[in-house]
Amino acid sequence: MTPFFIALLALVTSTFRTRAAQQAEIVALRHQIAVLQQSAPRRLRLGPSDRLLWIWLSRFWPAWRHWLRILKPDTVVRWHRTAFARYWTRKSRRRPGRPSLAAAIRDLIQQMSQANFLWGAPRIHGELLKLGIQVAPPTVGKYLRQRRNPPSQTWRTFLTNHRKQMASMDFFTVPTATFRVLFVFIVLSHDRRRVMHFNVTDHPSEEWTALQIREAFPWWRTGDLPRHLARD
């Protein structure tokens, strides 16, 4: 019989004893506990039922700390917190989600998508409703066949293919010895990293920038001008 049931049995039988017998039993038990504390191992092994008993006593017996001898009161408090955390972890765990869609309906969605290339999830969802199949639109989109689009060229490939037809322009600042800040406008050709035009000013404006662009790409060089201009 476990110590937990022994304690419950002692609680029941104590109601039929006299007060003198109970006091004598208490004295005998305290003496035995004192002797056991001197020879007991440093770490006691308590089962789950023993821990639940002390947790229950700590909730309903105000003086439980004063009469606890075999372990520290902080240990009982730690048991209580651990049980509380496990209870709420179990209660708040994720419940099973929606039931999975039948395999026949999944196959029908994929067949309709493959046979009608231009149909999307809303159209297929409407057709399923006409057939009496109640399915949510997000579920239809989930089971559609994912079409593989042809891979697009990378930015490096684009620059390699069009570098002869591209130029870039930007501003950068240059501080002077007199603590002035000059703005340098530069136009760079991507073909051979050639500087096509640059100019310096301390007060850049919209009119000044437009003038620099016209000077960088004059009208008489129409056959040599780039087709794409990149700017920040």
Work out the average pLDDT over 213-222.
80
Q: For the chain, what is the radius of gyration of the CA atoms? A: 43
Instruction: Name, in order, each residue with C-beta under 8 angstroms of 1's C-beta and a sequence gap of 6 or more.
Output: 9
The per-residue pLDDT of the chain, averaged, comes to: 78
Which amino acid is residue 35, in one-letter code? V
Top-confidence residue, 19 or 139: 139
Top-confidence residue, 64 or 113: 113
Work out the average pLDDT over 193-203.
89
Q: So what's the pLDDT on residue 184?
A: 94
Top-confidence residue, 185 or 27: 185
pTM across the whole model: 0.34
Q: Choose the weakest-confidence range: 4-8, 99-103, 132-136.
A: 4-8
Work out the average pLDDT over 85-113.
78
Q: Choose the weakest-confidence range: 3-7, 118-122, 183-187.
A: 3-7
Q: So what's the pLDDT on residue 207?
A: 93
pLDDT band at 81 (very low <50, low <70, confident <90, very high): confident
pLDDT band at 6 (very low <50, low <70, confident <90, very high): low
Backbone φ/ψ region at 167: left (φ over 0), alpha (ψ -120 to 50), beta: beta
Q: So what's the pLDDT on residue 10?
A: 67
Distance, CA of 203 to CA of 60 (rounded, Å): 83
Instruction: Provide the β-strand partners of residue 8.
Output: none
pLDDT band at 201 (very low <50, low <70, confident <90, very high): very high
Distance, CA of 48 to CA of 113 (rounded, Å): 57
Identify the sign of the CA torsion 103, 104, 105, 108.
positive
Which amino acid is residue 11, in one-letter code? L
- Burial of 216: CB neighbours in 10 Å, binned 0-12, 13-18, 19+: buried
Work out the average pLDDT over 199-218.
90
Residue 216 has pLDDT above 80, yes or no: yes
Q: So what's the pLDDT on residue 205?
A: 92
